[in-house]
């Protein structure tokens, strides 16, 4: 395993050979995300000082109020990726449609598309609770040299070449995978460098934490209600502890370190659940599987789902393998 004191830049270069397509583009792409993350981190950390809080007075494609910081994070990631000329297309949770990007020679030579949730959990920003960015990278499937199409973005999660998240918390961390395990890097704010702090991250096989918005309990399917009751029952190593931050990145990050299950089921209010398959569930599912965990919609593997639209929602159960399998049993 690489030395813990290696920087993210060094780690990317050292591990470039393990990428399936080792042209250096994927490395440059992760570097661009690292740069944008530092800019957004700076804005998130000063959010309490300046008027960057509150709604921007606009709603996104999902009809949710856009927070000012959402808009800023969205702009920073898109701008950074565009400027570096390393992607041929971007889809963001904050944009109605995907963005096609020309390279300066107008020949559409770039091979990767990025899907991004620029600021996950942003309703927590003004109460000083951790928020995050989630990203997902695919190799395009339409011919290089042509503009990207919707087809390039509507790929099943198993096609991802890289995915990760940035968590803006007590410390800022970038956690990512390229299909060879999961590694976490912590930002040293004094010098602006990410260092490898969490090599080879793994979900414990089982855990004692369940994360679900129990305020929606009455609206959940019976199988989910039964599983929650199972978690609360005094028996064996139970009852489990309930921990729900309401910021997917934070809940996932804690459960990966401590062992647990995160659930956002469908309900009578949201027939497909609330989380977006392309921007949230697929990247988190890829990370979970690379970290010895499991991710499902309650019945099937998340990474096998064929998306049909850009902002599609799915139920989501993710975390320690045995806990997800137990939840699926109750869902049958």
Question: Domain spans of the chain?
Answer: 6-200, 209-331
- pTM reported for the whole predicted model: 0.93
pLDDT band for position 1 (cuts 50, 70, 90): very low
The model's pLDDT over 201-228, given as tens digits with 9 standing for 90+, comes to 999 999 999 999 999 999 999 999 999 9
Instruction: State the DSSP H helix or E strand holding residue 227, giving kind and residue range, or none if neither.
Output: helix 222-232
209-331: CATH number: 3.40.190.80
Does residue 213 have a known ligand-binding role?
Answer: yes
Average pLDDT on 250-258 reads 97
244 is annotated as contributing to ligand binding? yes
Q: How high is the pLDDT of residue 297?
A: 97
237 in a labelled binding site: no
Instruction: Judge if 6-200 and 209-331 fold alike in CATH terms.
Output: no
Three-state DSSP at 316 gives strand
Is 120 known as a binding-site position?
Answer: yes
Identify the weakest region by mean pLDDT among 58-67, 142-151, 182-191: 58-67
Q: Per the annotation, does 121 bind a ligand?
A: yes
Each residue of 89-138: pLDDT tens digit? 999 999 999 999 876 666 668 899 999 999 998 888 777 788 999 999 99
More confident residue, 15 or 154: 154
Closest listed residue to residue 68, CA positions, set 79, 81, 57, 60: 57
Q: Residue 255: name the closest of 266, 265, 245 by CA.
A: 245
For the cut 60, the answer to whether the pLDDT of residue 60 exceeds it is: yes
**Is 124 annotated as belonging to a binding site?**
no
Residue 330: its pLDDT value, please?
Answer: 97
Give the model's pLDDT for residue 61.
74
Assign a CATH topology to domain 6-200.
Fructose-1,6-Bisphosphatase; Chain A, domain 1 (3.30.540)
Q: Does the annotation list 96 as a binding residue?
A: no
Contacts of 153 (CB under 8 A, 6+ apart): 89, 91, 98, 113, 115, 138, 278, 307, 310
Q: What is the SS3 assignment for 255? A: helix
Backbone angles phi, psi at 272, to 5 degrees: -115, 15
Has 117 been labeled as part of a binding site? yes
């Amino acid at each position: 395993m690489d030395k813990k004191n290696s920087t993210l830049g060094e780690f990317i270069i050292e591990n470039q050979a393990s990428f399936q397509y080792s042209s250096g583009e994927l490395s440059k792409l992760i570097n661009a995300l690292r740069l944008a993350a530092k800019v957004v981190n700076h804005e998130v950390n000063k959010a309490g000082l300046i008027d960057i809080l509150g709604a921007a007075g606009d709603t996104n494609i999902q009809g949710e109020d856009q927070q000012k910081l959402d808009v800023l994070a969205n702009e920073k990631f898109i701008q950074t990726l565009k400027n570096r000329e390393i992607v041929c297309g971007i889809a963001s949770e904050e944009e109605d449609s995907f963005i096609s990007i020309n390279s300066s020679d107008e020949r559409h030579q770039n091979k990767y598309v990025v899907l991004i949730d620029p600021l996950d959990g942003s309703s927590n920003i003004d109460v000083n609770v951790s928020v995050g960015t989630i990203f997902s990278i695919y190799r395009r499937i339409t011919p290089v040299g042509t503009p990207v199409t919707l087809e390039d973005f509507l790929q099943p999660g198993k096609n991802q070449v890289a995915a990760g998240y940035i968590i803006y918390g007590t410390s800022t961390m970038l956690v990512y995978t390229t299909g060879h395990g999961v590694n976490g890097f912590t930002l040293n704010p004094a010098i602006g460098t990410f260092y490898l702090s969490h090599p080879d991250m793994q979900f414990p096989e089982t855990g004692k934490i369940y994360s679900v918005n129990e305020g929606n309990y009455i609206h959940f399917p019976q199988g989910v209600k039964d599983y929650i009751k199972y978690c609360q029952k005094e028996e064996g190593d139970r009852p489990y502890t309930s921990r729900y931050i309401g910021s997917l990145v934070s809940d996932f990050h804690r459960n990966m370190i401590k062992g647990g299950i995160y659930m956002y089921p469908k309900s009578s209010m949201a027939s497909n659940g609330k989380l977006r398959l392309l921007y949230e569930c697929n990247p988190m599912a890829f990370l979970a599987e690379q970290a010895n965990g499991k991710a499902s919609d309650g019945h099937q593997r998340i990474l096998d789902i064929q998306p049909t639209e850009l902002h599609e929602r799915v139920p989501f159960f993710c975390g320690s393998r045995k806990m997800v399998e137990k939840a699926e049993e109750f869902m049958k």
